[in-house]
């Protein structure tokens, strides 16, 4: 980090360490200001709050509504068999199970189970790194959870529906667009990622192919 820090920090005439912020202000050195100025800022993603609520079992699923409306009959908008719940939606439902099974074929570890709590626990045991497959695992799970929840709500509130294949294509397309926005390194792992996601590794970028088999 020396090369990034050297333009921010200096010692004043009194021997006090000072920090120059990204906006040019001179302030007392603090680790919080260092973090604010050196962290990578990314555009907010639409799915972060949905994924967090799903993991914490806070989404308003039908099994919760039954406590308020015990005489009402609820059916999962995706499969139409039973009322939905966190475990049912992610990914025990016939529809969401097909979606998850197809999407995870692009992952390096295709044996991830069809249960959100087990998946998140398993991913939590991995080191939190920015290596490409760690990023892809988190991105794929988050995008799948958000997309399935969005599809469920579209069916309930807008009477709009997509086939499982259409939703898979939407999820994979979204992930590929996100991957194309990253600066990457030309490592062996990156080459495998490019192959799995049917992208071209050119320099420090993953590029979308004009025609893709995915």
pLDDT tens, position by position, 20-53:
888 888 898 888 888 888 775 555 555 567 787 8
Strand partners, 207: 200
| Structural domains of the chain, count | 2
> What is the structure's pLDDT at 212?
60
Residue 81 pLDDT greater than 80, yes or no: yes
Domain that holds residue 186: 48-208
In a domain, 43, yes or no: no
**Do residue 147 and residue 167 come from a single domain?**
yes
Residue 150, sorted as left (phi over 0), alpha (psi -120 to 50) or beta, turns out to be alpha
Q: Which residue has the higher pLDDT, 93 or 66?
A: 93
In a domain, 153, yes or no: yes
């Amino acid at each position: 980090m020396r090369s990034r820090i050297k333009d921010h920090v200096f010692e004043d005439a009194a021997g006090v360490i000072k920090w120059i912020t990204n906006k040019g202000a001179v302030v007392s050195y603090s680790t919080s200001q260092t973090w604010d100025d050196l962290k990578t800022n990314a555009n907010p993603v639409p799915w972060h709050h949905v994924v967090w609520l799903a993991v914490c079992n806070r989404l308003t699923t039908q099994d919760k509504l039954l406590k308020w409306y015990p005489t009402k009959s609820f059916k999962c908008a995706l499969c139409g068999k039973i009322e939905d719940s966190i475990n049912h939606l992610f990914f025990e439902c016939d529809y969401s199970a097909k979606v998850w099974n197809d999407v995870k074929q692009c992952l390096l570890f295709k044996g991830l189970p069809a249960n959100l709590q087990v998946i998140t626990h398993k991913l939590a045991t991995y080191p939190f790194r920015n290596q490409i497959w760690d990023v892809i695992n988190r991105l794929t799970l988050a995008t799948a959870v958000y997309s399935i929840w969005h599809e469920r709500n579209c069916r309930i509130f807008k009477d709009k529906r997509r086939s499982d294949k259409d939703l898979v294509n939407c999820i994979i397309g979204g992930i590929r667009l996100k991957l194309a926005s990253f600066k990457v390194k030309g490592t062996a792992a990156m080459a495998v990622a490019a192959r799995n996601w049917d992208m071209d590794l050119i320099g420090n970028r993953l590029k979308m192919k004009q025609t893709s088999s995915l």
